[in-house]
A and B are shown apart, each in its own frame.
Chain A
Amino acid sequence: MSAPVEGRAFEPRVLGLLCTHCAYACADNAGGTRASVPAGLRTIRLMCTGRVEPSLVLEAFGAGADGVLIMGCHPGGCHYKEQNYRAVQRQRILLRLLDQCGVEPERCRFDHVSAAESTRYLELVDDFVAALRRLGPLRLERRTRVHRPH
């Protein structure tokens, strides 16, 4: 992700990790209706929020995201039965780690939508971006790691 431009209003950089069965379908529909989305939003389509390794969220922050929005199906509506519950459990543990490391837990949000809720999807994204605007940019010290074999 590119560096923020000095002197302009802060436009949060957001990574959306979207389940293909719900949130990604919403995003697709919203695009079809030419709805506008926040400029800093980048989305990645996943088969299920159950695929979100907590380290992915940390890596997104390390790569410059100000917030990570994970969106999956409503409770009980997961196409892989219960993986969205597991995803929430992983995210809630990750929030504890973030909090203790001085990264506001509000920067990693989990929301539930269905494929038919495009309008709500847009509202949730806007709401998250507004929350990030209030928090301001996430400035992390960069770590370099020379000992990891590549």
Chain B
Amino acid sequence: MQATTSRPRIALYWASGCGGCEIAFVNLHERLLELDARFEIFFCPCLVDTKRQDVEALPDGALALTLLDGAQRSDENVEMAQLLRRKSQLLVAYGSCAHEGCLPGLANLRPTASLLDTVYAGMSEPSRPRARAAVPQGELHLPTLLPRVLPLADVVDVDYVIPGCPPEPDTLWRALGQMFTEPPPPRGAVLGAGESAVCRECALRREDKTIVRLRRVHELIPEPTRCLLEQGILCMGPATRDGCGALCTRVGMPCIGCYGAPEGVPDQGAAMAGAVGSILDIEPLRDRSDKEIAAAVDATLDAVPDWAGSCYKFSLAASLLGGRRT
């Protein structure tokens, strides 16, 4: 890195993510010019050429801001998180993976060994990943998986969170504005989004109906103007933070929960269990025995094959249980 500049330096780094958060960053479009006028993007493996060594050579706190996306899945992710924490004045959990583990976090429903057994099924030992392997050219070092996927805040101190999978560019832009205003938001705050639930900004009509039958998205063409949950589709709107503009329900798809739980709600899956349990039709339960009631509710719930995968699609790693008990 030869160019020296007086602009504050920032970094954008991916841990175990998909690159979608980087796309969301680029989707700032012309606002990128404004960002570039104010900051120098010092480190970002998919945008600029600097390497880890260049970051290591910086004095501590030399980066004004790091947006760190992706889940904490491997020991290398943790090393990079610790390095960037040291070098950054502000470290932001950027996107759902860093915030709550997101889809990689669903791996927490299985023991890590069984994941490797599935992916490398039938392969003998030399073909499976090893932390150290001797090859003719020398010794190779590979990262090893953590016992479970962790949100960034379980690994290092995080100053702010930007939610979403990926965060909407408007969410990112608002968050950047908020973190550099005086006085700054309280440490740990979720920025750029709302504090309420997606239902608040959803335009679909609620009629306070009850759910008679749960259905999956491919099982019906929903009425375009009615609340999807009331039509039996497991829409995560009531258990998900607003701020995206209810983009998914606008095009007839249920919210799948990517902004995480609303402010102050400790567990997104539990919140969804509460919401759905509140509007399932109780008429068939009347005048039944305890056992019949439990069986009738269970029969209704069977329409959803994967409750944890549906209610914790984005937040399992950050849930109160964190995933499967090991």
A residues with CB within 8 A of B: 53-55, 57-59, 61-62, 74-76, 82, 85-94, 96-98, 100-103, 110-112, 138-141, 143-150
Contact = CB atoms under 8 A, between A and B. Distances in A.
B191 to A, nearest CB: 11
Given A93-B301, A101-B308, A55 B267 contact: yes
Interface stretch (B133-141, B215-223, B278-286): B278-286
A141 B326 contact: yes
B293 A88 contact: yes
A149 B189 contact: yes
Contacts of B280: 89
A143 B158 CA distance: 15
Contact of B270 (A54, A141, A148): A54
B192 interface: no
A150 B186 CA distance: 10
Nearest to B324: A102
B321 A103 contact: yes
30 contacts: A58-B270, A58-B321, A62-B320, A75-B286, A75-B287, A75-B289, A75-B290, A76-B286, A88-B293, A92-B277, A92-B301, A93-B272, A93-B277, A94-B273, A96-B301, A97-B270, A97-B273, A97-B307, A97-B308, A97-B312, A100-B306, A100-B307, A101-B323, A102-B326, A103-B321, A141-B326, A143-B322, A145-B153, A146-B188, A149-B187
B109 interface: yes
Bin the interface of chain B by size. Answer: 35 or more
B228 interface: no
Among A61, A96, A144, chain B packs the most CB atoms within 10 A around the CB of A96
Q: 7 shortest A-B CB distances, which residue pairs?
A: A90-B277, A147-B153, A102-B325, A100-B308, A89-B277, A55-B270, A96-B307
A88 B301 contact: no
Nearest to B297: A92
Contacts of A88: 285, 293-294, 297
A111 B291 CA distance: 10
B322 A141 contact: yes
A86 B311 CA distance: 18
Given A85-B285, A138-B325, 16 more contacts: A54-B267, A54-B273, A55-B320, A58-B320, A61-B320, A75-B286, A88-B297, A89-B278, A90-B277, A92-B301, A102-B324, A141-B325, A145-B318, A146-B158, A147-B151, A147-B153
